[in-house]
Structure 1
Amino acid sequence: MPQGDWGDLKIGRLLLRETFKESESVGTQRTLDLEGQESSPPLTRTELVWRHDNLTALESGTVMPLTFTDKPERNTYVNVDSVSADYTEWRTDVVTSDWKLGLTRLGSDAEVDLQSRLTGVARVNDFSLTGERWHAPPIGHYGYQTGTTNATVMTRTGADGAITVYRGIPAGVSPRWGCAPTSYLNGRVRLTSSGTELCGIDQSLAATGWALTNGLVNVTPGASGTLDVQAYTDGSWRSKLWNVSASGSASSITSWDGATLLRNDPEHVILRLTRGLNPGRATLDLTLRRGSRTVEGYLQTTTSSTLAVYRSSSETNTSFAASGYITATDDDADGSRFAVGSARTFTAHTNGGIQKAATTSLDFWIGAVASQPTLNSNPTFETDTSGWTATNATLTRSNAQAKHGSWSGLLTATAGSAPRAQSTPNIPVTTGQSYRASGWLYAPTTLAAGAAVNINWYDSGGAYLSTSANSSTPASGTWVAYDAAFTAPASAAFAAVLFTMNGTPGAGVLLYGDDIRLRTATPSGDAATDLRNQYIGALPETIYCVRR
C-alpha cells in the first residue's frame, strides 16, 4: 500500500494512492477523471517528489494500463488527455502533491485487442540483408495472431521470466493480441535512475547511475569501460565491458556530460548520452526493445573521426565483417559468446568489436549468443571432482593447467580402453531435442588416437543406448575447444557428458578437462547470425487499442 490503508492506483509505470472517487462519462468518447493527493509523510520527501515529477511526465497519446487495488473491475486501458499537479511544501513539516488526471477510457481486455503497428522497413545495410521481422508482446499476453499466416515462436528466459518472441512476422501485418491490464508491464523495457524507474521522457536524468534493461539485456555505465553490457543467461546476469570511442582506440569515452530520454515506452526505450569533445560533441543513442537479446547504438560526432566500439579487454574473436558481425571464437567462463555488428561496412577491432575511419556516425548492436542452463554439475572443477566418475582412469583436481578459473580436472589413464570421466548422475533428456556438449581439453603429449567430448545416451531404465562423439587429435601443450550439438536418439531418456582419450593410450597418459558442459543447444533465433538479422529487421512499434 502506498499510503496508510489506501489501495494502489497504477497508471503505466506510475504508482499512486488509490482515489476514493472515480468519475466516468460517455458521449463522443468515454472519459475517466481521477484526482488525489500524495503526501510526505507518510511517504518520504524523495518518494513524494518522484511521484509528482513522474505524474507531470506522463505522455499523451500512448496506450497505458490503469489498475486499481480496491476497484479492480475498473481496470482498463487509457490515453492521458490532461495532467495537473499542485506541489506544496511546508518547510520541515509536510509536502503534498494534489493531482488531477483526465483520461480517455479505451476499454478492458474483454473489450479491446492491442495492435502492434510495426512501421518502417528493414535497416538500409551494406550486406544485402532483408532482415527478420520479429516482435515480443508482454509476458502474459494471449491470442496472438498475424492474420492467415502464423509467425514462428521462440521463448527467451530473462530476469522477468519467460518472454515469447514471434519471428517471421508477415510483411504488412500488424499483430493483434490480448492482455490483461495487470500483465501489460510484464517483461517491459525500463530506464532507472539511482534505482528508480522513470515514466515518460520529460525527466531530469543524471549522466551516471542509470540502467537500461529489458530482463534479457542490462546496460549501465562501465566501471572501467564506457558501457557494462550484461546478458541474462543460466539464471544470472553476465557482464562484459565495452569501450566507445570517438577517436579510435587512443581514447575511449569514460564518462558522459548529459543524459536525455528520447523514448520511454514499455516496448521501446531510447536513451541519448552526450559528451563534449572540445571542440564539438559526441552523442550516443542506446535503444532497447522488449524481448531483444541486443542493445542498439548510434554514435555521432560533429567532426569526422575514427569511431569505434570494442571490448575493453581483448577477447579472442572471429570476424565475419563481410556479413556484418564479429563474435567470440569460444565460449567464455559463463558459457556464452559476445556478438557485435553493424548495418554498415566496418573494420574489425582486434579486441573484438567494430571501428570505422573518417566518419561522423557509426551504428552498432551488442549482444550475446546466450548460454542455456548447464545440465551437469561442477563443469569447472574449481572446488572438487564431485559429479564425475572415472573409468579406466583416475580423476583428480589440478591447478597445473586451467582454462577458466584456477583448476581443471586431470584424467590419468590406467589399464583399458577409452579412459574417461563422465558426469553423474545421468541427466533427463527429451527424444528428438538437440543438446550441446562442449569443453576444453589439454593434452601434455600427443594422443595418437585423439580425444573427445561426447554424450552417452541411456533409456528410461538406465541401459546404455549409444554415444554421440566429437573427436579430434588435439595439438599437445595447448587448450583445444570442443563444441558440438547432437539430437537425442529414439528411446533416449537420460544422457551424460564425458571427456575421454580415444583408443588405449596406456597407463600414466594425462588429459586435462575444463568447463565440460551439457546444455540444451542454443535455440534458433539466438545465434550471432540471427541476432544480426533481427537488428537489421527491428521495426519501431506503436501500440493501439482496437475493438474486438
Structure 2
Amino acid sequence: MALYDWGDVTIGRIPLRETFDTTESGGDRSLDLDGQESYPPLTRAQVIARHDGINALIVGQVIPVTFTDKPERSGYYAVKSCSSTYTEYRTDMVTAAWKVSLDRIGSDAETDLQSRLTGAVRLNDFDLAGERWHAPPIGHYGYYTGDTNATVMTRTGADGTITVYRGVPADFSPRWGCDPTDYLNGRVKATTTGGQEVYGADVPLAATGWSLSNGLINVTWSASGGGTLDVQTYTGGAYRSKLWQVMSAAAVQVDDWDGATLLRNDPEMVILRLTKALNPGRATLDLTLRRGSRIIEGYLQRGTADTLSVRLNTAETYADTSAQGYLTATNDDTDGNRFACGSALTFTAAANGGVQKATTTKLDFWLGASTTGGGGTTLNANPGFDTDLTGWNANGGTAVRVTTPVKAGAGAAQFTPDGVAEFPSIESDRVPVTGGTVYRASGWIRCATARAIDLNVNWFDEDGGYLSTGTLTNTLAVNTYTFYDGTVTAPADAVEATIAPTVANFPPGTDVIIVDEVRLRLPVASGDAATDLRDQYLAAMPEAVYGVRR
C-alpha cells in the first residue's frame, strides 16, 4: 500500500500512487492513466526511478498492470504511449507528473502469455546440442508446449520456488497463464546505488554500485581483492559468495569500471554492459542474467588480442575437464556448493579455477555453482562443530571439540575409541527422512593412524528400530583430511536417520579421528549439476513475451 493510505497501481515493474480517475474507451479497450509522484514523501531517488521507468516503457510491449482499489481493471496491456514531466524545486521538492496510454489485452482468465524463445543453440567446440529450457514467473499456471510436454524441475531461491521447464520443444512457443499480481515474482532485477531497482534500459546506472539478481543468484562488483565479480548463489536460505577476478590482459586485473549501461532490462532477462578504458583502447564486459537461471553469462572483449580470463579470487581444487566445456570443484566448499564455470569455445583452465583464452579479442563464459538439492539444506544439526558438540553423541568412546586441526570454520570434533567397543562412532541426533529417497552424505575425516574409516548413515523405522546402514568408506593416510561424498538410499520403511563417522571393527584407543563439516542432505538435483548448467548455457534462448487471446 502506498504512503498515506493511497492505493498502488503497478505498471510493469513500476510502483505508482493509484489515482482517482481511470479513463477507458470502448472498441480498442484503451486505458489512459496519469498521476504524480513526489519527494517528499518518497525519496528523491525513488521519484527519479519512477520518472525514468515511465519514459523507458517500450511501445507495443506487453506488461501486467495491477490496481489496489480498482482490481477489476487489473490485467495485461500493450503500451501505446508514455511520458513523464520531471520538476525539481531546489532544496524543497521533486515531482514527476506522468501519463501512460495502454491497450487492454485481457485478464489472466482470458489471456495466454506466449514465450517466444528465439535464436539457436550456441555454436560450440564440443559437439554439444545443449538443453532448451525456460522459466516463467513464480505462480504461473497451465504451462503448455503442445503434444510434447517439457520435464519439470524446481529451484528454491530468495523469492520462493521457481519452476524450470527442461527439454522445451524447439518447434513450439510455450503458452502459460499468470495472475498479473504474480507476474513479477522471480523476475530478474537490476539495481543501482542504494539498492534502488532500475525499471528500464535507458536509465542512469552506477558503474560499481549495481547488482543483478533473479533470486537464485545475485551478482555484484566487489572492491575485494582489487576488484572482483561477486557471484552469490542462493542455497540453504542465504546467498553464498564466490569472488571471480576479471583479467583484461595477461596478469592485468580489472580493478573497477568506468561506466555501466543496460542493453536490456525485462523481468525475464537483463543484459548489463560494463566498460573499462585501457591504454590504449578499451575492454567491455556484457553480463546476462535470465529468470530461473543458476548461472551468470559473460562476454569479455577488447580491441587488440591478448590473454583474457575469468578466474576464482581464491584457488580451489578442480579436475581439468575443459575439453568438455566446463570446470567444477573437486570438493564441496563449507556451504556445500562447488564452483562451476565454462565456455562455448575451447579454453584453458585458468589459475585458481576459471576460464582462460590466449591471443584473443573475446571470451565467452558462464559462472555459477553446482548446488545440493533442497536448497542445500543440511538435515543434521551443527555439521561444523564451530562452537560445541550440540546434536552429536559419542558411541563406544569419547568426543571433544577441538580448534586444531580444523578443516573449515572455528572447530572440529575429535573422537577417541575406548579400545573395547565394536564400530565406535560419533553420531548425529536422528533426523526425519523419507523412505526410498536418495540422500547425500559428506564430510571431512582424518585419523591418527593409517586405516579404513567409514562414514555411515543409519536408518530407523517408525518405532525407532534399527533397519540398516549405508556406508561410504576410505582408507586414510596418517593425519590427512579426506573428503567423503556419496549417495545412500533410505529403505522403504525408513522414517529417521543418523550420520556417523565410524572406526570399523574393534579399534584401539590410538585410532583417534577428527571430523568436520559432516552433512546429510538431498543430493545435487538433476538440472543443477555442472554439466547441466553447461548445457543450459549453450541453449539459453532470448525470450519475448506476447499476449494471446485464449
Please indicate the TM-score interval, normalised by the length of the shorter structure. Answer: over 0.9
Give the SS at the match of 1:246: strand
Q: Is the 8 A contact 2:366 2:537 kept in 1?
A: yes
Partner of 2:405: 401
**Which residues of 2 match residues 193-212 of structure 1 at below 5 A?**
193-194=192-193, 195-212=195-212
Partner of 1:123: 122
Partner of 2:84: 85
Mapped pair 1:352 → 2:353: yes
Mapped pair 1:294 → 2:295: yes
- Separation (CA, whole Å) in 1 of partners of 2:60 and 2:489: 49
- What number of residue pairs does the alignment pair up? 543
The amino acid across from 2:202 in the alignment is D
| 1:485 paired residue among 487, 490, 500 | 487
TM-score for both structures, normalised by structure 1: 0.97
Mapped pair 1:38 → 2:47: no
- Separation (CA, whole Å) in 2 of partners of 1:65 and 1:156: 24
**Which residues of 2 match residues 415-430 of structure 1 at below 5 A?**
415-424=420-429, 426-430=430-434
- Separation (CA, whole Å) in 2 of partners of 1:336 and 1:493: 27
Give the SS at the match of 2:531: helix
- Separation (CA, whole Å) in 2 of partners of 1:384 and 1:6: 52
Structure 1 window deviating more from structure 2 (148-157 vs 80-89): it is 80-89
Partner of 2:70: 71
1:31 deviates by 1.3
Q: Is the 8 A contact 2:45 2:196 kept in 1?
A: no
1:416 deviates by 1.6
- Separation (CA, whole Å) in 2 of partners of 1:43 and 1:481: 53
The amino acid across from 2:422 in the alignment is S
Q: CA RMSD in A?
A: 1.2
- Separation (CA, whole Å) in 2 of partners of 1:325 and 1:150: 29
Give the SS at the match of 1:279: coil
1:350 deviates by 2.5
CA 1:98 to 1:401, structure 2 compared with 1: closer, same or farther past 3 Å? same
Query: Which deviations, in whole Å up to 9, do the C-alpha atoms of 1:341-384 show, x marking residues without a partner?
Result: 00000000120101000001100000001132000001011111
1:265 deviates by 0.5
1:30 deviates by 2.4
1:89 deviates by 3.0
- Separation (CA, whole Å) in 2 of partners of 1:351 and 1:85: 50
1:152 deviates by 1.0
Task: Detail structure 1 runs of 4+ shifted over 4 Å in the superposition.
Answer: none
Partner of 2:449: 445
Mapped pair 1:49 → 2:48: yes
Partner of 1:169: 168
Partner of 1:368: 369
Q: Is the 8 A contact 1:4 1:42 kept in 2?
A: no
Partner of 2:255: 254
The amino acid across from 1:423 in the alignment is S
| 1:461 paired residue among 460, 463, 469 | 463
- Separation (CA, whole Å) in 2 of partners of 1:89 and 1:510: 73
1:3 deviates by 4.2
Partner of 1:214: 214
Query: Which deviations, in whole Å up to 9, do the C-alpha atoms of 1:416-454 show, x marking residues without a partner?
Result: 211111110x1111122110000011112112xx00112
The amino acid across from 1:529 in the alignment is T
Partner of 1:546: 548
Query: Which deviations, in whole Å up to 9, do the C-alpha atoms of 1:69-119 show, x marking residues without a partner?
Result: 100111011121111222233334443222211111111101101111111
In structure 1, stretches of 5+ residues that fail to align are none
TM-score for both structures, normalised by structure 2: 0.97
Partner of 1:382: 386
Query: Which deviations, in whole Å up to 9, do the C-alpha atoms of 1:3-27 show, x marking residues without a partner?
Result: 4332111101101111211111233
Query: Which deviations, in whole Å up to 9, do the C-alpha atoms of 1:215-255 show, x marking residues without a partner?
Result: 0110000222420110000001101110011112x121010
Give the SS at the match of 1:473: strand
In structure 2, stretches of 5+ residues that fail to align are none
Give the SS at the match of 1:470: strand
